Amino acid sequence: MKYYIIAGEASGDLHGSNLMKALQKEDINADFRFWGGDLMQHVGGTLVSHYKERSFMGFSEVIMNLSKIFKAISFCKQDILQYQPDVIIFIDNSGFNLRIAKWAKANNFTTNYYISPQVWASRAGRVKDIKRDIDAMYVILPFVKPFYETYDYDVTFVGHPLIDAISDRTQVDEYEFRAEHGLSTLPIIAILPGSRKQEISKMLTVMLSIIDDYPKYQFVIAGAPSQDFSFYQTFIKNTNVSFVNNKTYDLLSVSYAALVTSGTATLETALFKVPQVVCYKASWLSYQIGRRIVTLKYISLVNLIMDKPIVTELIQDDFNSENLKKELNLILNPYERTKFFINYYDLEKKLGGKGASQKAASLIYKALKSNT
């Protein structure tokens, strides 16, 4: 079978690569053409466009790059027509993917979605378009299935692929990891400032502003694969800051606490059982628009899945040095840490166990075979 897969950022590249590996187990003749990143490219097939070329954050940044986005959409349509896939698999990335899906369905392509657009967070009216344009939806968050059921749309919950990605990784030797990256024996506080330049710029200055108050800990920045060290270096003014590039999981596995930009990283941090403070700051325009259309009680996946405030969220103006120190002091407290661990184990149970990628791949392949 021929699979055309479209992912739009680092997390989509991770989930896309795991889905591709699972599809290869189901279909020995699987042929891939995709929009993604290094991880998907490592699995095999043809990389059409790297997500680094389309990494825009917030409403204002998207508006400034509309011409580039529309050119990419037009090129994607032509590329699909030329490739003639048996199925198009969309991974999150709703702004781009839903436009392609509408066109694809009108042109009689089979359309599957793996990892739902966040219509449960805002603009629920898009469900009508999804029902029209998507043949099958595979969701990875437990609360998303009942959300779609309220709109009479039957989707399949397959579990969360991060559980596989984390449990299947090779365990890191902490001593060797510290030695390799020049880290001391002090407890590590991981800093996860995001993956896009715009969000890193907004997050990192505040995150680094408090470190002189914690001489008994060492702070380590988790560098995103999409960014060079030279970019991070412009923000580092303190000697008690280290940098580890593209090894976030290894870093989290040896960390004592973490400061995390809202996104997939909050769930990854929780699955590594690391107490965290969740942080988020957008441009003024993006935030003002977002707060008017987002209908959620929480912004972090951890709190959304548990439907209660497991982790503290410092959003926009609340994300400042004073509040960050206050919340970091709390998660360094032994009593508070115990509560984190209990809640994190409950969170993992809710995610449905291992095998998400394989379940999705099996369902996709069986459906394709039944239609041939």
> For the ranges 42-46, 62-66, 349-353, which has the lowest average pLDDT?
62-66
Average pLDDT over residues 111-128: 85
- Quick one: 142 and 225 in the same domain? no
Average pLDDT over residues 129-136: 96
- Quick one: 295 and 270 in the same domain? yes
- Quick one: 337 and 207 in the same domain? yes
Position 63 confidence tier, pLDDT thresholds 50, 70, 90: low
Supply the pLDDT for residue 117. Answer: 85
Question: To the nearest whole number, what is the mean pLDDT of the chain?
Answer: 89
- Quick one: 84 and 200 in the same domain? no
- Quick one: 171 and 150 in the same domain? no
Average pLDDT over residues 85-91: 97
Q: In the chain, pLDDT over 90 holds for what percent of residues?
A: 68
- Quick one: 290 and 195 in the same domain? yes
Domain that holds residue 189: 167-350
Which residue is listed with tokens 């279909």?
Answer: 27
- Quick one: 109 and 176 in the same domain? no
Q: How many domains does the chain have?
A: 2
Q: What is the pLDDT of residues 234-291, one digit of tens each?
A: 888 777 899 999 899 999 999 999 999 988 899 999 999 999 999 988 754 554 555 5
* CB 128 within 8 Å of CB 329: no
Residue 134 has pLDDT above 80, yes or no: yes
* CB 261 within 8 Å of CB 313: no
Residue 67 has pLDDT above 70, yes or no: no
- Quick one: 360 and 339 in the same domain? no
What is the pTM for the complete model shown?
0.81
Supply the pLDDT for residue 211. Answer: 93
- Quick one: 283 and 260 in the same domain? yes
* CB 98 within 8 Å of CB 129: yes
Which residue is listed with tokens 């890191």?
Answer: 172
Q: What is the pLDDT of residues 308-362, one digit of tens each?
A: 999 999 998 899 999 999 999 999 999 889 999 999 999 999 998 889 999 999 9
- Quick one: 215 and 188 in the same domain? yes
- Quick one: tokens of 307? 């439907």
- Quick one: 345 and 359 in the same domain? no
Q: What is the pLDDT of residues 22-42, one digit of tens each?
A: 999 999 999 999 999 999 999
Supply the pLDDT for residue 229. Answer: 87
Show the CA angle centred on residue 124, arms to residues 119 and 130, nearest 5°.
70
| CATH code assigned at 184 | 3.40.50.2000
Supply the pLDDT for residue 272. Answer: 96
Supply the pLDDT for residue 48. Answer: 95
- Quick one: 146 and 171 in the same domain? no
